[in-house]
Amino acid sequence: MSQSHRIPGKGLLIDRARPVRFTFDGRAHEGFAGDTLASALLANGTRLMGRSFKYHRPRGVMTAGSEEPSALMQIHEGAQQTPNVRATVQEIYEGLEARSQNHLGPLSFDLLAVNDWMAPFLSAGFYYKTFMWPRAFWEKLYEPAIRRAAGLGSLSGRHDEAVYEKAFAHCDLLVIGAGPAGLMAALVAARAGADVILADEEVRMGGRLLADGAEVDGQAGPDWAASVVAELASLPNVRLMTRTTVTGAYDDGTFGALERVSLHRAPGDAPRECFWRIVARRAILAAGALERPIAHPDNDRPGVMLASGLTGQMTRFGVNPGRVVIFSNNDSGLATARSLTAQGIEIAAYVDPRPIPVTEDFPVYAGAEVVGTRGRLGLRDVAVRHKGGISMIEARTLALAGGWNPTLHLTCHLNTRPQWDEKIAAFVPKPGAVPGLEVAGAARGRFSTAACLADGAQVAGEVLADLGLRAPDVPVPGAEDRPYGIAPLWAVDAGGRAWLDFANDVTTKDVKLAAQEGFRSVEHMKRYTTQGMAPDQGKTSNVAALAVLADATGQEIPVTGTTTYRPPFIPVSIAAMGAGGRAEGFAPRRLLTSDARSRAMGAPMIEAGLWSRPSYFPRDGETDWRTACDREVRQVREAVGVADVSTLGKIDVQGADAARFLDFVYTNTMSTLAPGKVRYGLMLREDGFVLDDGTCARLGPEHFLVTTTTAAAGLVMRHMDFVHQAFCGGWDVRMASVTESWAQFCIAGPKAGAVLAALGITADLPFMGCAPVTLGGVAGRLFRISFSGEQGYEIAVPTRYGAALFDRLVEAAHALDGCAYGMEALNVLRVEKGFITHAEIHGRVTADDVGLGKMVSGKKDCIGKAASQRPGLTEAGREQLVGLMPVNQGEVLSAGAHLYNERDPAVREHNQGYVTSVAPSPTLGCWLGLGFLKDGRARHGQVIRLDDGLRGRKVLVEVCDPVFFDPEGGRMRG
């Protein structure tokens, strides 16, 4: 607990007046507020922090950020147990309990380290060969053993009881990364009046300015950064998001971001994490660059770090690295050596393969290489090969500086590959890779501080012009502008094992073996060796591995290419992405805005299309669902009923090509629909079968609202997205699901207009009309449509007003002898009118099968039209939608039953069809059914047999038109 390896007075992020006690592997340690687990352990002299996955070799800290591949911990918080937490990211707090992982026995004497001695037998891909024979051993021996060995950490086996949140944000400009380029871009945009979000994964904004010792405009880098952050924080149009990592880029300017809300504090009521969906009109990626190591024998010992990790740990947290050897192939490594010397750190040797003619205050080995290390549990000596031979140099830390890789991952998340830049020996983003996303600073290869500042300002100006804003005149501050010189060195040829992926134990030999055995594609090599598939995700290892593969295959690096970049950029808790759905299973429960009132009225709730909806609303004396349902149906037919139909899918479609697009999606024509009108529509799948039915309302010349059935809301949105991307990519049309944004209520019955009048709305819309309305100052929408066969309206308001509107509607309905009605009554009403739902359009029927063949326009093409005209889908004898009434009106019908000719046995060969929906009709005084019958429309008036073998029910039914009630439709049009 002495913190013997702390530099007095150093540490930008720590508060030395606030000691913090924590444990690591059960042993008490002390750090300071602001420390990470990595910095606190290093300050206490602890370098051994874990074991590697395959060989169980000792592992320590390599970096100072989220790219850390080695120092992975298990955090225990009571029943909560979180594996694979990066020690470089986890901030310490009082009582934090951390444990090392992936070892059997003590961390310092891991019994599974025997794997390292067996390394010659455990080369890349050994499992593909070893576990093929004997074949019978796979299920009983090989697979169980592999599963037990898989993974680095472990779970508690208990439910995660912590709180997580999800949130949404919108802005004009999202700036990703708060280093010099990001701060400059945010400052320019903020002063221009743009709505700006600046997101950075660190605790304090400033990026490399906090670690490199650079000056900006004569100020220390941290001071300049702090002044810019203070100005941004004071502006009302700027949101600063620290501890927030943008994890993925998605369509239409949407970005995922993970905020570590309270992971730096002891568990309490605050959420642990929040997953953000940020929609930005434009975005600037200013995420900087990640340093890469140089592969050489035994380059994986605790104490071997990246030079950037060393300076980060030292400057931010005051960690004393002891005697340091720096191995670099570029100018940034030499700058690091000079900076460390100026701060009193002893440089035992600076090793550079380039013939650099420099004279320094520390030993310089030009034209030299590191060829080995000693010290199994912690670095002791470094072997340097130079012109005079090989020297063993005593050192506590070896800092590797193999060059910089722009952090371009987000630019590749829409399946664009980066391009190779020979000047900096790194991949850089391809321009326009993500629409609306520009790249600035080191993220696109501008590595000097001056270049980053200038680039941030320039890119911000270009983005502001796109947004229609004028960029203010913001002077670019002066800063160092050293050139970046590099002589690529990916791996030292000195025998032994040289590590590329430190978490997964992938060496240069493994990559060469993959090429030798025919896995020459970069994607194949990745899977054969597991390179970049572990916690590192290629951040520190991939480019070097690609270079080794290129050399092994005799190709250039650009030809070899890169593997596919996929979100998320950092690990994201499933609990954060699914916030609010804990213990709800695969499909979290979705509640209506009327849910509380419905339950208060005694309504039993049922699941319908992932939503919890009221089944019926019982009144005093009503002891079963049937009594309540019959009463609700009669009240709708005779007076008025109110139902919450917010669950209907709602898709907002806009753009100059919106009408053209909807013509292509729907079987009927929507482009001729006048603003203020609604049309019933039908969609087909690509195979010609019906996908869904619903309505399409034209709210403006280029603005439509599509409604879908509750069950198919997600399917239709996915279908429309697919059609847009696959067939209409160049069209000016955009879609957004707004199902949860609007609460919508149906008012049905002869007195529906009176209910609207009670709310101050004049119900003068024609049938299938729509119009904007205002209720108490709240803007809403009114539609004249019916799913009951009665005069009907649907009124929609923003979701937050849904509960209040439902209360007022129910109150008005009760005053008119009406009621609220639930799913049971809704089903009866629609069956009486022969309206279909997904009980009928279940995926195996065509438009003609359900009697809607005339809705497939002959004047235009649409998705599924050609397939729907295949002979098998148009031949005689297909099952067609019919209505079914019992000959004896007192008998009960059942859905799922099969239909047979009256005297035929109930066997497959005689099957004539099946029943899809049934309902007891108080209006007609008997049970009614809908079903599909071979040549059904030609058999109206026939008597057939309904046979339900499961329930032992046989009923003679008359085949009739599926529209049982008011076939002329006068009631709903009146």
The pLDDT of residue 298 is: 96
Instruction: Look at 241-245, 773-777, 910-914 and tell me which has the smallest mean pLDDT.
Output: 773-777
Cβ neighbours for 294, distance < 8 A, ≥ 6 positions apart: 327, 329, 370, 400, 401, 402, 489, 490, 491, 492, 544
Residue labelled with tokens 């927030």: 244
User: Does residue 862 fall inside a structural domain?
Assistant: no
Q: Which carries the bigger pLDDT value, residue 140 or residue 445?
A: 445
pLDDT at 359 over 90: no
| CA–CA–CA angle 916, 920, 923 (5° rounding) | 120
Nearest to 844 by CA among 948, 914, 945: 914
The residue-averaged pLDDT of 690-698 equals 97
* Boundary residue ending a domain (127, 142, 175): 127
Rounded Cα–Cα distance for residues 224 and 240 (Å): 17
C-alpha distances in Å from residue 37, one per residue of 9, 23, 43, 502, 943 = 20, 10, 10, 19, 79
Nearest to 405 by CA among 303, 532, 245: 532
AA identity, residue 915? V
Q: Which carries the bigger pLDDT value, residue 897 or residue 483?
A: 897
Across 49-208, the runs of DSSP E, i.e. the strands, are: 50-51, 58-59, 72-77, 80-86, 96-99, 164-176, 196-199
User: Does residue 623 fall inside a structural domain?
Assistant: no
Question: Sign (positive/negative) of CA torsion 86, 87, 89, 94?
Answer: positive
pLDDT classification of 172: cutoffs 50, 70, 90 = very high
Q: pLDDT over 90 for what percent of the chain? A: 85
The pLDDT of residue 149 is: 67
β-pairing verdict for 96-99 and 254-260: unpaired
pLDDT classification of 610: cutoffs 50, 70, 90 = confident
pLDDT at 287 over 70: yes
Residue labelled with tokens 């022969």: 834
Residues 771 and 683 in one domain: yes
Residue labelled with tokens 């400009």: 173
AA identity, residue 267? P
Residues 329 and 420 in one domain: no
Residues 109 and 237 in one domain: no
* Boundary residue ending a domain (98, 127, 156): 127
For position 713, which CATH number holds? 3.30.1360.120
Give backbone dihedrals phi and psi of 464, rounded to 5 degrees, phi first.
-60, -40
Contact 244, 225 (CB under 8 A): no
C-alpha distances in Å from residue 570, one per residue of 66, 80, 550 = 7, 20, 27
Nearest to 894 by CA among 858, 945, 832, 834: 945
User: Does residue 586 fall inside a structural domain?
Assistant: no
User: Does residue 374 fall inside a structural domain?
Assistant: yes
Nearest to 491 by CA among 296, 292, 293, 291: 296
The pLDDT of residue 114 is: 86
The pLDDT of residue 188 is: 98
User: Does residue 132 fall inside a structural domain?
Assistant: no
Residues 351 and 373 in one domain: yes
625-638 and 823-833 helices, crossing angle to 10°: 60
For position 220, which CATH number holds? 3.50.50.60
- pLDDT tens-place string over residues 122-136: 777 776 677 767 777
Nearest to 456 by CA among 225, 290, 233, 281: 225
Rounded Cα–Cα distance for residues 830 and 840 (Å): 12
Q: Which helix (H) or strand (E) holds 883?
A: strand 879-886
C-alpha distances in Å from residue 487, one per residue of 15, 426, 491, 557, 802 = 40, 12, 12, 15, 65
317: three-class secondary structure by DSSP: helix
For position 91, which CATH number holds? 3.10.20.440
Q: Which carries the bigger pLDDT value, residue 586 or residue 874?
A: 874
Instruction: Look at 175-179, 212-216, 261-265, 627-631 and tell me which has the smallest mean pLDDT.
Output: 212-216
| CA–CA–CA angle 184, 417, 727 (5° rounding) | 105
User: Does residue 834 fall inside a structural domain?
Assistant: no
Query: Strand 590-591's sheet: what is its strand order?
Result: 590-591, 611-614, 605-608
For position 933, which CATH number holds? 2.40.30.110
pLDDT at 1 over 70: no
Torsion of CA 277, 283, 288, 293, to 10 degrees: 60
The pLDDT of residue 140 is: 76
The pLDDT of residue 112 is: 82
| CA–CA–CA angle 718, 721, 727 (5° rounding) | 130
Per the structure, the complete domain to which residue 733 belongs is given by: 641-821
623: three-class secondary structure by DSSP: coil
For position 530, which CATH number holds? 1.10.10
pLDDT classification of 160: cutoffs 50, 70, 90 = confident
pLDDT at 448 over 80: yes
Split into its structural domains, the chain has a count of: 6
Rounded Cα–Cα distance for residues 185 and 196 (Å): 10
Residues 415 and 381 in one domain: no
* Boundary residue ending a domain (360, 383, 401): 401
The pLDDT of residue 438 is: 98
Alpha carbon of residue 620 to chain centroid: 48
C-alpha distances in Å from residue 246, one per residue of 208, 250, 254, 425, 702 = 18, 11, 11, 26, 33
The pLDDT of residue 437 is: 97
Nearest to 146 by CA among 50, 51, 52, 54: 54
pLDDT at 700 over 60: yes
β-pairing verdict for 238-241 and 196-199: parallel
Mean pLDDT, all residues of the chain: 94
Q: Which helix (H) or strand (E) holds 557?
A: helix 557-560
Residues 430 and 443 in one domain: yes
Rounded Cα–Cα distance for residues 456 and 473 (Å): 13
The pLDDT of residue 115 is: 80
Residue labelled with tokens 């912690």: 378
Residues 951 and 914 in one domain: yes
pLDDT at 199 over 60: yes
The pLDDT of residue 667 is: 97
User: Does residue 768 fall inside a structural domain?
Assistant: yes
pLDDT at 8 over 80: yes
Of the CA atoms within 13 Å of residue 82, those in its CB half-sphere come to 20
Residues 393 and 414 in one domain: no
Q: Residue 453, by phi and psi: left (phi above 0), alpha (psi -120 to 50) or beta?
A: alpha
Cβ neighbours for 150, distance < 8 A, ≥ 6 positions apart: none
Q: Long-range CB contacts (< 8 A, 24+ apart) of 759-762?
A: 759/808, 759/809, 759/812, 761/795
pTM, two decimals, is: 0.84
pLDDT classification of 955: cutoffs 50, 70, 90 = very high
Residues 794 and 717 in one domain: yes
Residues 190 and 286 in one domain: yes
Residue labelled with tokens 């039209």: 865
The residue-averaged pLDDT of 936-943 equals 97
Q: pLDDT over 70 for what percent of the chain? A: 98
User: Does residue 669 fall inside a structural domain?
Assistant: yes
pLDDT classification of 79: cutoffs 50, 70, 90 = confident
Residues 229 and 281 in one domain: yes
Residues 278 and 299 in one domain: no
AA identity, residue 114? V
Q: Which helix (H) or strand (E) holds 796?
A: strand 792-798
The pLDDT of residue 78 is: 79
- pLDDT tens-place string over residues 787-834: 999 999 999 999 999 999 999 999 999 999 999 999 999 999 999 999
Rounded Cα–Cα distance for residues 293 and 328 (Å): 9
C-alpha distances in Å from residue 401, one per residue of 250, 292, 305, 506, 648 = 33, 7, 9, 20, 57
| CA–CA–CA angle 595, 598, 600 (5° rounding) | 110
pLDDT classification of 54: cutoffs 50, 70, 90 = confident
